[in-house]
């Protein structure tokens, strides 16, 4: 892989994060990355987000 390709890949990461912020959230399950419609949070805790398939994972944060 060329240096140019590596730089491009690094540069894409923050852009993808920004796009996710606009859309909402993505599932926190490793390797999933789907749009997450289910948020789980306790007061004063960071919220956790999961897609329809993995929303059961969020129960541990409640």
Q: Residue 9: which residues within 8 A CB-CB, separation 6 or more?
A: none
Give the torsion sign (CA, 41, 57, 30, 21).
negative
Q: Could you say which residues in the range 2-61 bind Zn ion, by CB under 5 A?
A: 27, 29, 32, 34, 51, 54
Q: How far is the CB of 12 from Zn ion (least distance, A)?
A: 22
Q: Which is nearer to Zn ion, 7 or 33 (CB)?
A: 33
* Total residues interacting with Zn ion, rule: CB under 5 A: 6
Q: What angle do CA 48, 50, 56 make, to 5 degrees?
A: 100
Residues that bind Zn ion (CB under 5 A): 27, 29, 32, 34, 51, 54
């Amino acid at each position: 892989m060329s240096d140019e390709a590596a730089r491009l890949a690094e540069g894409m990461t923050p852009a993808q994060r920004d796009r996710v912020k606009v859309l909402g959230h993505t599932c926190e399950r490793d390797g999933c990355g789907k749009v997450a419609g289910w948020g789980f949070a306790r007061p004063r805790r960071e919220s956790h987000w999961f897609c329809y398939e993995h929303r059961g994972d969020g129960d541990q944060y409640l």
